[in-house]
Amino acid sequence: MLVFLDFEASSLAKKSYPIEVAWVFEDGRDESHLIRPPLQWDDWDDAAEAIHHIPRARLDTEGTPHDVVARRMIEVLSGHALFASAPSWDGKWLSALLRAAKLPRHALRLRDTEEAQRDTATAILRDAVPAAALGVAVADVIALGEVRDRDVPTHRALADARDEWERWCAVKRAAEAHAATARQDEAPSGG
């Protein structure tokens, strides 16, 4: 199953670490966790806090211990295709979380959300449009999915992961509509 994931972090510095993670399965189920950092994670940027609005003190009082979150992610997300809008950044924080919990840092891998959109559109359209037109049809439905009203990222993990999922859903719906129209156009007319 496809899963759309997002992290919020302490900063964008080299020593930054994840402070919140959320994911949304393709069927709409979701989960979100504030992450209580281990003692050795001490990077903090007030400018980042001004964007995500999660005070460091809140992580200490309301956050789930980092190792518990990491094990939960392994338990729930292993075997699924994981996607993020910024896989290099989110992958950095995923790796930091897994390493701090003494889990293999490559236990979970992230790919770009655009890949999920492209693969889904291609799978839906492959049998509905001629092979020569497939690339253009896929690009068209991805563009249609991007046209929908989009909110500015909230910089909260669940809202941003849900936005990625909704964007994928919009591409999927556009591909299904395009495929239905293409099949209808190919159907012999009863004359």
In terms of domains, do 107 and 160 share one? no
Is 191 a domain residue? Answer: no
Do both 128 and 67 map to the same domain? no
The answer, yes or no, to whether residue 151 has pLDDT greater than 60, is no
Domains identified in the chain, total number: 2
pLDDT for residue 148: 58
Q: In this structure, are 96 and 170 located in the same domain?
A: no
**How do residues 74-98 score in pLDDT, each as one tens digit?**
999 999 999 999 999 999 999 999 9
Position 13 in a domain: yes
- Is the model's pLDDT at 45 over the cut of 70? yes
Same-domain status, 50 and 135: no
Q: What is the pTM of this model?
A: 0.91
State which of 66, 83, 112 marks the end of a domain.
112
Beta-strand relationship, 110-112 and 30-36: unpaired
CATH of the domain at 7: 3.30.420.10
Indicate the pLDDT class of residue 183, thresholds 50, 70 and 90. Answer: confident
Q: Which of 53, 77, 112 is the last residue of a domain?
A: 112
* Domain final residue pick, 112, 139, 171: 112
Neighbours of 147 (CB within 10 A): 10
Question: Are 82 and 119 members of one domain?
Answer: no
What residue numbers bound the domain in which 88 lies?
A: 2-112
- CA dist., res. 185 & res. 163, Å (int): 33
Query: Using one digit for the tens of pLDDT, what is the confidence trace for 170-179?
Result: 999 999 999 9
Q: Is-contact 5 21, C-beta < 8 A?
A: yes
Residues 66 and 117 in one domain: no
Q: Which of 117, 99, 118 is nearest to 108 (CA)?
A: 99
Put the strands of the sheet holding 110-112 in their side by side order: 64-65, 30-36, 18-25, 2-9, 81-84, 110-112
Please check whether residue 31 lies inside any domain of the structure: yes
> Do 86 and 141 fall into the same domain?
no
Length of the chain: 191
Residues paired with residue 7 on neighbouring β-strands, in sequence order: 21
Distance of CA 125 to the CA centre of its chain: 23
Beta strand extents in the chain (DSSP E only): 2-9, 18-25, 30-36, 64-65, 81-84, 110-112
pLDDT digits (tens, 9 = 90+) for 94-149: 999 999 999 998 899 999 999 999 999 999 999 999 999 999 999 999 998 776 55
Shared domain for 87 and 35, answered yes or no, is yes
